[in-house]
Amino acid sequence: MDKKSIIGYILIGIVLIGYFSLNKPSQADLEAQKHRQDSIAFVEKIKELEKEKAEEARLAEIEKQKNDTTDLFFNVLNGKNETVVLSNDKINVNISSLGSRVTSVSLKDYKDQNDGDVVLFDSNDRLKSSNDELGNNTLNFVFESKQGYKNINSAMLYSTPIEQTDSSVTMRLAFTADKYIDFKYLLRHDSYMLDLFIDAHNMDDILSTKKDIEIDWKQLARQQEPGYDFEQRYTSLTYKPVDDDSDYLSEMKDDSEKFEEPISWIAYKNQFFSCIMISGEEFNNVQLNSKVIEKGENMLKDFSATMTAPFDPTGKQPTAIQFYYGPNKFSTLRESSNLAIAPDNDLELEEIIYFGWPIVRWINRYFIMYLFDGLSSLGLNMGIVLILLTLIVKAIIYPFTKKSYISSAKMRALKPYVDEINKKYPKQEDALKKQQETMALYSKYGASPMGGCLPMLIQMPVFIALFNFVPNSIELRQQSFLWASDLSAYDAIISWDKHIWLLGDHISLFCLLFCVTQILNTYYTSKMQPSMGGSPEMEQQQKIMRWMMYLMPVMFFFMFNNYSSGLNFYYFVSTLVSVFIFIYLRRAVKDDELLKKMETYAESNKNNPKKQTNMISRLEALQEQQRKLLEEQERIKRERNAKKK
């Protein structure tokens, strides 16, 4: 590092210190901020007390209605809490007469960490810090009543199950014998889809003419997998506007959003399972909220959504809503989209699986996924599937890898010639001439300094595609390989109780192996790269770049230690194969033989100096423009000096 660079860094440091010193809040500012925070906390406390007071008044009113036999709500407030179980080959759905809602769902084809059926949610789920008597998992329907009646809030009202079968039931919210609201649930055969139809009967004199109902849906996202941090990254509140692609709230922080446009569906998504509410028409006035739950609660997120759905108070047209309770498996989600109540609504439920940005997503959907499914169908262990997937991908991109290597080998073979040019033009003012002569040398021998970059750029989308694909592959869930008991979670060889910053509470062996092979790969690729030569400053910059390349695997270890063992295993195998490829190419491509070919190329094109790559042509043209600009500046400078004299 030269003296100018050191002085520059010192000046930057002085500027930063001065900036933070000047912007440091004064004692008065700190006191004012504390006063504002205290005021906000006081207002929040007042609001909480008012809310508690209103809730007490509401409960008192309900108790009064319960004892008044003439009250319209007497029957629905004094009902019996019954649970109806709907079942098919894939799921069990529990529906309670209190609230006429689904209270729990379990999946028969998937097991939790204790080898029981995966429970997506349960009405008994509560946070340790919550005092909500209804729990944190609720689904409430609010019907607006005419003046003189209370709004009908389904959460505290009892319905009666009728017309019950193994896969269907009608929960009747009967105010009188001929005035009621029906909630008809139908579980599709051999499917994860549950249909709900809501319609009113003879409620014209009670319900207002409002053409929609309000829905309040709250749910805790359970921690289903061993790794809290990793599953947290893939747990999100996802939604799809009617005429747009799906989107999601932030996974890593509390987030909320309100929508003016209609929404097609709302998904409470875990890494591998989802609960999706789908509108038969559309949801409006949607407000979504997602809160991150701290580690230790066995919960990941606290989701809530409020919305309105079309409703006919006359009962002529029922309100249709669907629920998907199942795995985040692409083919299953796509098949379930075809079961939409509204056939004109293209649900595209498979969009809840995030496969990356457009180019990366296309690679995953139309190449990686089909290749992975084909290998999985062979009945092989998932670790072997990942090995085969790696080898096939490496074989496909091998031509680009080889082209990149040969391009770098050409540059390395021409290094003696480049060194001679550097010696010929040692002065800084001759830098432009040195660049032009170097470019002419590359053109003469058919080499390009950018020749190795394009093949590497082509490989990058595949690398990123697998980064998005593997963590979303439910096929890897609870699949063991070697010492890893679950390829969808980390493979801890050493664990401890206390959380260490950056490192966590364990060391993943596959992550460690991946980082070691990455260092080996850096070693071989750095040997392959030619020295830049030239000034001492350029040599120093190249050394810094090489050390940064060695530092990256260390950074990868802290980044990927909490990631799934399947992803780390894929990167380990991929990097190891890359090392073997470089060793093979190093032996197969001889520098002296390559130089002979380049000299033959130069001799054959000696009489055709214009034959060169487009990139070299552009560089030379740019350098020629720079040369002319510098000459023009020098001419103007000389003329000005002459006038002054």
Average pLDDT over residues 192-197: 96
Provide the percentage of residues in the chain whose pLDDT is more than 90: 42
Q: What is the pLDDT of residues 120-135, one digit of tens each?
A: 999 888 887 665 544 5
Confidence (pLDDT) at 19: 44
Is the confidence at residue 59, as pLDDT, over 80? Answer: no
* Residue in the block written with tokens 């000459």: 631
Confidence (pLDDT) at 148: 67
Higher pLDDT, 407 or 49: 407
For 478-507, the three-class secondary structure string (H helix, E strand, C coil) is: CCCECCECCCCCCCEEEEEEEEECCCEEEE
Confidence (pLDDT) at 147: 73
Of the listed ranges 427-431, 463-467, 535-539, the one predicted with least confidence: 535-539
Average pLDDT over residues 250-258: 92
- Give 346's pLDDT tier (boundaries 50, 70, 90): confident
Give bridge partners of residue 87 from the DSSP assignment: 92
- Give 9's pLDDT tier (boundaries 50, 70, 90): very low
Q: How far is 228 from 51, CA to CA, in rounded Å?
A: 34
- Give 406's pLDDT tier (boundaries 50, 70, 90): confident
Is the confidence at residue 41, as pLDDT, over 60? Answer: no
User: Which residues lie closer than 8 Å to 582 by C-beta, 6 or more apart?
Assistant: 405, 521, 524, 525, 528
Query: Between helices 536-560 and 565-588, what is the axis angle to 10°?
Result: 150
Average pLDDT over residues 603-626: 60
Confidence (pLDDT) at 146: 86
Is the confidence at residue 272, as pLDDT, over 90? Answer: yes
Confidence (pLDDT) at 383: 95
Is the confidence at residue 96, as pLDDT, over 60? Answer: yes
Residue 148: exposed, middle, or buried by beta-carbon count in 10 A (0-12, 13-18, 19+)? Answer: exposed
Is the confidence at residue 43, as pLDDT, over 80? Answer: no
Q: How far is 329 from 333, CA to CA, in rounded Å?
A: 6
CB contact burial 73-96 (16+ within 10 A = b; e otherwise): bebbbeeeeeebebebebbbbbbb
Higher pLDDT, 590 or 21: 590
- Give 46's pLDDT tier (boundaries 50, 70, 90): low
Of the listed ranges 184-193, 262-271, 293-302, the one predicted with least confidence: 293-302
* Residue in the block written with tokens 């950074």: 555
Confidence (pLDDT) at 385: 95
CA 180 to chain centre: 44
Q: How far is 235 from 271, CA to CA, in rounded Å?
A: 5
Confidence (pLDDT) at 288: 97
Confidence (pLDDT) at 549: 78
Q: Is the whole-model pTM more than 0.85?
A: no
Higher pLDDT, 452 or 399: 399
Confidence (pLDDT) at 597: 80
Mean pLDDT, all residues of the chain: 82
Helix (H/G/I), strand (E/B), else coil: 463: helix
Confidence (pLDDT) at 4: 43
For 3-40, the three-class secondary structure string (H helix, E strand, C coil) is: HHHHHHHHHHHHHHHHHHHHCCCCHHHHHHHHHHHHHH
Average pLDDT over residues 183-198: 95
Is the confidence at residue 632, as pLDDT, over 60? Answer: yes
Single out the residue of 176, 131, 136, 173 nearest to residue 156, CA to CA: 173
- Going 512 to 515 to 521 to 523, the CA torsion angle's sign is negative
Q: What residue type is 272 in one-letter code?
A: F
Confidence (pLDDT) at 14: 55
The count of other CB atoms within 10 Å of the CB of residue 424 is 11
Confidence (pLDDT) at 23: 47
Cβ-contact 570, 511 below 8 angstroms: no
For 192-234, the three-class secondary structure string (H helix, E strand, C coil) is: CEEEEEEEEECCCCCECCCCEEEEEEEEEEECCCCCHHHHHHC
Pairing of strands 299-310, 273-292: antiparallel
Is the confidence at residue 428, as pLDDT, over 60? Answer: yes
Query: Per mean pLDDT, which of 58-72, 119-133, 376-390, 513-527 is the most reliable?
Result: 376-390
Q: What is the pLDDT of residues 154-174, one digit of tens each?
A: 988 999 999 999 999 999 999
Is the confidence at residue 259, as pLDDT, over 90? Answer: yes
- Give 12's pLDDT tier (boundaries 50, 70, 90): very low
Average pLDDT over residues 201-215: 91
Confidence (pLDDT) at 604: 73
- Give 64's pLDDT tier (boundaries 50, 70, 90): low
Average pLDDT over residues 194-218: 93
